[in-house]
């Protein structure tokens, strides 16, 4: 086993991971960055279309207090409000810093920023770049990491966090690029591994989002927060397969039909039709599909053929992507279904990004608390900048004062034996890909857009079966660790099952409908908001309620309708 020594190990290289690495290096720490894909090219950041922030550029009347209120109300009061306050106050600083590094936002003829209006925001405050804000952010951050000579290594799948005397001591991973098990000894680890959209059959997330960081943190003893809160975008393509999960914003201008040629939104929202909120639209589409009125590919029809041509100018990117695959939205209907889009739950952290295990930090979509029960558009990119920077800086400070732990070599040896024991295992009947498909069908059926107690209970028992019976049936090809992506897929599947169990456990505990979580057997909100924390104790999941940190704004305070 090859071993490395570092002060801070960053796992994941989207926007949050790269910003954390930059801040950690600026804090004087020796930083190692690892990613199971290509550095800065996987993850969801590159697809981000806008970042929300207030500052001197804001419209009259808009300010940090208004954005704070919008975010908390949009999050159904599950947000950690001190974290939201930091988000809205510090986003401006990160925007200015990113611009000093070369990021250029869209500006109008008058030289002022172009600010888009988005759902849940009281004012236009989403800053954009014509060629994707997230993509340009990552390019800038990659360059800054390169200037600091931060060691970055792709194709490394993190397999376990090492613990010594109850604190972080590093991590073990599989480097498929060189075919080795590797160990990084470090007193501080920053998780920036993104969400878990791949748990569902249709998702806007890239293939890397399999919940690895969530599973790593849980097994290391960290608390996970509000895992039931999965945001589904109502209209994601289900056909062609190459575009599955690609989301369409033109839904508000189009018409939706089921397989019986009925414009079904007239039954659900007779006045608003497709102009209703995303959650209601997603539930209506989901109901049509599960009740047997879906299309051949498991969706409904989105008909934009009557949309005025000038409207398509606002959706040029999605129009061109579909057209290049042979589907001209002005001429043909498209098949769509709700797509897993964003994960509000995650590793419970404080305002410094620190998790409940000393030395463990998390930032971005893998963390929980900022977004509450629902995420407003543009707040995710703001979060990765603000809390990526905070996690990296605080991890560096922690590492400077920490007594360098001696990793338990028994832990490392155990992980290495497990990984090498999986090589060329051919005694099973299923491939990792087939196992993932079974898991996705289960999650879509029981823990998707609409949930109930009976289905969630069935899911809990089926997930135990998948863990105990399906995993041993998985075969893996490849005679060695070198470029063994079948083995990586198996390790992802194992993580996905673990994370799925936390989602189902939390969804069972939340006997109400709040945020993105909808229980048809409990369709109303409870009178008092509560968060749900999940821990792993003695090999068993435990879910417990705790009040959210409502330091400024409470339900019924009269602020909901304020301008």
Point out the residues that are catalytic: 278
Q: Which of 231, 171, 146 is nearest to 36 (CA)?
A: 171
Q: Which of 268, 215, 255 is nearest to 498 (CA)?
A: 215
90 phi/psi in degrees, rounded to 5: -100, -10
Give kind and range of the element (H or E) at residue 544. Answer: strand 540-546
How far is 528 from 547, CA to CA, in rounded Å?
A: 9
Give kind and range of the element (H or E) at residue 439. Answer: helix 432-446
The SS3 call for residue 143 is helix
How far is 203 from 232, CA to CA, in rounded Å?
A: 8
Q: Radius of gyration over alpha carbons of the chain, in Å? A: 23
Cβ contact 229:245 at 8 Å: no
How far is 296 from 287, CA to CA, in rounded Å?
A: 16
How far is 32 from 45, CA to CA, in rounded Å?
A: 20
HEC readout, 244-307 = CCCECHHHHHCEEECCCCCCCHHHHCCCCHHHCCHHHHHHHHHHHHHHHHCCCCCCEEEECCCC
H helix intervals, 148-203:
none
Give kind and range of the element (H or E) at residue 462. Answer: helix 453-465
How far is 301 from 484, CA to CA, in rounded Å?
A: 39
Strands 367-368 and 346-348: parallel
How far is 476 from 453, CA to CA, in rounded Å?
A: 36
Which residues, listed in sequence order, are joined to residue 31 by a DSSP beta bridge? 8
Q: Which of 305, 304, 298 is nearest to 238 (CA)?
A: 298
What secondary structure letter does DSSP report for 226?
A: -
Q: What is the dihedral of CA 431, 435, 436, 441, to 10 degrees?
A: 140
Number of Cα atoms under 13 Å in the Cβ half of residue 56: 4
Q: Which residues have C-beta within 8 Å of that of residue 426, sequence separation ≥ 6?
A: 475, 476, 477
User: Per this entry, what is the length of the chain?
Assistant: 563
- In terms of Cβ atoms closer than 10 Å to its own Cβ (0-12, 13-18, 19+), residue 144 is buried
């Amino acid at each position: 086993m090859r071993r490395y020594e570092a002060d801070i190990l960053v796992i994941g290289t989207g926007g949050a991971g790269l910003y954390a690495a930059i801040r950690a290096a600026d804090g004087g720490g020796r930083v190692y960055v690892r990613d199971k894909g290509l550095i800065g090219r996987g993850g969801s950041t590159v697809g981000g279309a806008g970042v929300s922030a207030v500052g001197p550029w804001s419209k009259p009347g808009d300010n940090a207090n208004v954005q704070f209120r919008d975010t908390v109300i949009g999050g159904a009061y599950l947000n950690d409000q001190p974290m939201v306050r930091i988000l809205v106050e510090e986003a401006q600083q990160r925007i200015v810093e990113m611009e000093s590094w070369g990021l250029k936002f869209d500006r109008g003829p008058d030289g002022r920023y172009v600010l888009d209006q988005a759902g849940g925001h009281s004012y236009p405050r989403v800053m954009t770049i014509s060629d994707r804000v997230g993509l340009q952010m990552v390019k800038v951050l990659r360059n800054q990491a390169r200037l600091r000579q931060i060691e970055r290594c792709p194709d490394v799948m993190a397999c376990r966090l090492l613990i010594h005397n109850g604190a972080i001591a590093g991590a073990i991973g599989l480097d498929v690029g060189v075919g080795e098990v590797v160990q990084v000894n470090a007193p501080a680890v920053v998780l920036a591994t993104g969400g878990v959209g791949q748990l569902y059959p249709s998702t806007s997330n890239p293939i890397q989002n399999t919940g690895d960081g969530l599973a790593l943190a849980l097994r290391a003893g960290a608390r996970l927060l509000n895992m039931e809160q999965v945001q589904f975008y109502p209209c994601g393509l289900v056909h062609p397969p190459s575009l599955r999960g690609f989301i369409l914003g033109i839904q508000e201008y189009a018409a939706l039909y089921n397989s019986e040629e009925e414009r079904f939104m007239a039954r659900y929202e007779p006045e608003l039709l497709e102009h209703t909120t995303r959650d209601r639209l997603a539930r209506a589409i989901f109901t049509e599909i599960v009740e047997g009125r879906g299309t051949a590919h498991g969706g409904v029809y989105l008909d934009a053929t009557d949309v005025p041509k000038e409207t398509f100018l606002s959706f040029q990117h999605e129009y061109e992507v579909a057209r290049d695959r042979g589907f001209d939205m002005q001429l043909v209907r498209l098949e769509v279904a709700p797509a897993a889009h964003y994960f509000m739950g995650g590793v419970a952290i404080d305002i410094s990004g620190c998790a409940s295990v000393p030395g463990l930090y998390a930032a971005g979509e893998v963390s929980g608390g900022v977004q509450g029960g629902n995420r407003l558009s543009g707040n995710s990119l703001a979060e990765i900048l603000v809390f990526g920077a905070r996690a990296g800086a605080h991890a560096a400070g922690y590492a400077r004062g920490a007594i360098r732990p001696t990793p338990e070599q028994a832990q490392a040896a155990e992980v290495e034996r497990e990984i090498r024991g999986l090589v060329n295992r051919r005694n099973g009947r299923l491939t990792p890909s087939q196992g993932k498909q079974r898991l996705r069908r289960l999650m879509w059926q029981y823990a998707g857009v609409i949930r109930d107690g009976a289905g969630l209970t069935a899911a809990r028992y089926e997930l135990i079966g998948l863990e105990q019976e399906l995993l041993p049936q998985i075969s893996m090809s490849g005679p060695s660790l070198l470029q063994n992506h079948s083995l990586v897929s198996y390790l992802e599947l194992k993580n996905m099952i673990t994370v799925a169990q936390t989602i189902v456990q939390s969804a069972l505990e939340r006997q109400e409908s709040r945020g993105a979580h909808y229980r048809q057997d409990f369709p109303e909100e409870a009178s008092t908001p509560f968060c749900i924390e999940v821990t792993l104790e003695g090999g068993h999941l435990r879910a417990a309620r705790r009040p959210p940190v409502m330091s400024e704004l409470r339900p019924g305070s009269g602020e909901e309708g304020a301008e």
